[in-house]
Structure 1
Amino acid sequence: MAAVQMQEQRQFTARLRAGESLFGTFVKMPTYHATEILASAGYDFIVIDEEHAPINRESIDAIILAARARGVAPLVRIGEPTDFNIMAQLDAGAAGVFVPHVNSVEKASRIAAACRYAGGRRGFSKTGRAGDYGAADTDAHLAHQDVHTLCIPMIEDPEAIDVIDEIVAVEGVAALFVGRGDLSVAMGERSQTAKPVLEATDKVIAAARNAGKPVLMLAAGEEDQAALMRAGVRTFLTGSDQAFLRRAAASALGTCRAVAARSISS
């Protein structure tokens, strides 16, 4: 089982780095059922949202288990970027972490080191899921984790844009995510597609491209996604389990009410 799961993580990391089109979504509800459904629908990855959702360590552990069992890559948007919290998610079997508000080279270096054994600060243990509960060969575990664990800083502060070339060049940073929601508010804009936000986004994409690293984005719509793809972005998040539930529930209720109204009037 460990060999199969390691191969799945290798494949996802390789596909991301190769620039394949990949699609994921945020998971905000503290249940593994949504993840099973999302995997069945064909998503390539999920991002478990510890930052903005009521999800604790035990819930994250169960969601990661469901994701790995169903062949969808689990990443975690962590709430507190401590060495312990990063280590906990990786030991549980996460393919990587999204780290909010990475706005300096120092912070990028610190979180990258927390994700890495060799030359880093990740506390060693193979007794969790990532190490097949102790069954994994130590050398193989260390090598696999260092090569395939994804450390993904979230670029969502104006000051990060000023040093983006240095952030993306940090050893161990695998990719960048542009958080245009936070970025637009921090820049005093009310639209993710306002000109200053787009210019900042273009700068991040260009820096990542020059460093040979992928960028992940949350597209605002079809036209926005098409524009981002022309700029070289290939990996996208779309919505969340909560958003999907709300949209489907509202649509179903609207249909029921329309039928009822027509029936009463006739």
Structure 2
Amino acid sequence: MNLKAKIAAGDPVLGSFLKTPSAMLVEVLARADLDCLCLDAEHAPFDRSQIDQCALAARAAGLPLVVRPQHSSADQILNALDCGATGLLLPHIRSGREASDAVRHGHYGPGGRGYAGSSRAAGYGAKDMQDILSTAADQTVLIAQIEDREALDDMDAIAATEGLDALFIGMMDLTVALDCDNYRDARVQDAVAHILKSAKEAGKPVGLFTPSLDDIPTYRGQGASLFLLGSDHAFMLSGARALTEKVRGLL
């Protein structure tokens, strides 16, 4: 079952963020039994060639790769998909219209994704057009990140967008957008509940990031199924701190 099918089925999907533009780290994290990896090209310094190299490493390792681009424009979406990404985590989707536009740009069809038969995604010319189109339709994953106050006012329309595979709750972004000091603030959690409700009514899967793993059973019970947790930076820092603490206690 590919990533798109797993998400659609509501099966638990676990991924993490990559903040360092390094194909080698993609290879390392591919050994961690993750369901997917998300390149954070929105907040980390990924250029086009680095996305390309990381996509190559992910494909070689058989690890589904989602890219969060700098913005949800047609060129950013096309770049990631042509490089061979499995899909996109689309930042700052604030309305049903923005969601519809992003979906159109992520799929082939009238006014949609530009066609190229020579990209990595197209097998460098080894596949015929119908094979390329059917594979893209079967596998491309488009996830709308909900992180702005404005999105909360149009949640039903966003959630109902045809062709959108899932919603993703930007927990910390919402915390800042709602002018709260902590994601556990009632205003943030009310927004999360609102998003989950709209998603459930539309039959749309929901994902999220949470700083505390202890929250996972709660959000899973409320309907979330896609969890993008931690990052390469967090793994390195926690590992280094654990080593330092243990060794200094022995000195």
Q: Identify the TM-score tier after normalising by the shorter chain.
A: over 0.9
Q: What runs of 5+ residues in structure 2 fail to find an aligned partner?
A: none
Aligned to 1:160: 151
| 5+ residue gaps, structure 1 | 1-9, 261-266
Letter in 1 for 2:133: L
Change (3 A) 1:238 1:244: same
Instruction: Give 3-state SS (helix, strand or coil) of 2:144's partner.
Output: strand
- Structural mapping, 1:26-65, within 5 Å: 26-65=17-56
Counterpart contact for 1:112–1:120, Cα < 8 Å: no
Q: Select the structure of larger CA radius of gyration.
A: 1
Counterpart AA for 2:13? L
* Distance in 1 between residues matched to 2:76 and 2:223, nearest whole Å: 32
Partner Cα distance (1:85, 1:30) in 2: 17
Question: Could you say which residue in structure 2 is the equivalent of 1:169?
Answer: 160
Residue number in structure 2 paired with 1:6: none
Question: Structure 2 CA distance, aligned partners of 1:143 and 1:120?
Answer: 18
| CA distance in structure 2 between the partners assigned to 1:206 and 1:140 by the alignment | 37
Asked if the contact 1:218–1:238 (Cα under 8 Å) also holds between the matched residues in 2, the reply is yes
CA drift at 1:69: 1.2
Distance 2:238 2:24 in 1: 18
Q: CA deviation at 1:180?
A: 1.1
**SS of residue matched to 1:237:** strand
Confirm whether residue 254 of structure 1 aligns to residue 238 of structure 2: no
Whichever residue aligns with residue 94 of structure 1, its letter is A
Q: Which residue of 2 aligns with 1:178?
A: 169
Q: Match of 1:24?
A: 15
Structure 2 counterpart of 1:128: 119
- Cα distance in structure 2, aligned partners of 1:65 and 1:160: 34
Residue 102 (structure 2) aligns with:
111
Q: Secondary structure at the match of 2:2?
A: helix
How far off its partner does 1:167 sit? 0.8
The percent of aligned pairs where both chains have the same amino acid is 36
Using the TM superposition, give the Cα deviation of residue 59 of structure 1 relative to its aligned residue in structure 2, in angstroms.
0.9
- How far did residue 111 of structure 1 move? 0.9
Q: Deviations over 1:20-68 (max 9, x none)?
A: 1111000010111221121111111000011110111111111111111
Residue 234 of structure 2 aligns to a residue whose secondary structure is helix
TM-score normalised according to structure 2 size: 0.96
Partner of 1:199: 190
Kindly state the Cα deviation for residue 102 of structure 1 after the two structures are TM-superposed.
0.8
C-alpha distance in 2 between matches for 1:193 and 1:65: 38
Amino acid across the alignment from 2:129: T
Q: Cα deviations across residues 62-104 of structure 1 (Å, max 9, x unaligned)? A: 1111111112110000003221111010011111111111112
Deviation at 1:246, TM superposition (A): 0.8
The alpha carbon displacement at 1:170 in A equals 1.6
CA distance in 2, matches of 1:49, 1:55: 8
Runs of 4+ in 1 over 2 A off after TM superposition: none
Q: Residue deviations 1:219-241, cap 9 Å, x none? A: 23233111101011121011100
RMSD: 1.3
Residue 249 of structure 1 aligns with an amino acid whose one-letter code is: A
State the AA in 1 paired with 2:208: M
Q: Secondary structure at the match of 1:53?
A: coil
**Once structures 1 and 2 are overlaid, which stretch shifts more, 113-122 or 94-103?**
113-122
State the distance in 2 between where 1:81 and 1:21 align: 26
Q: For each residue in 1:137-172, what CA deviation from the matched residue of structure 2 results, as whole angstroms up to 9, or x when unmatched?
A: 211211221232111111001110111110111222
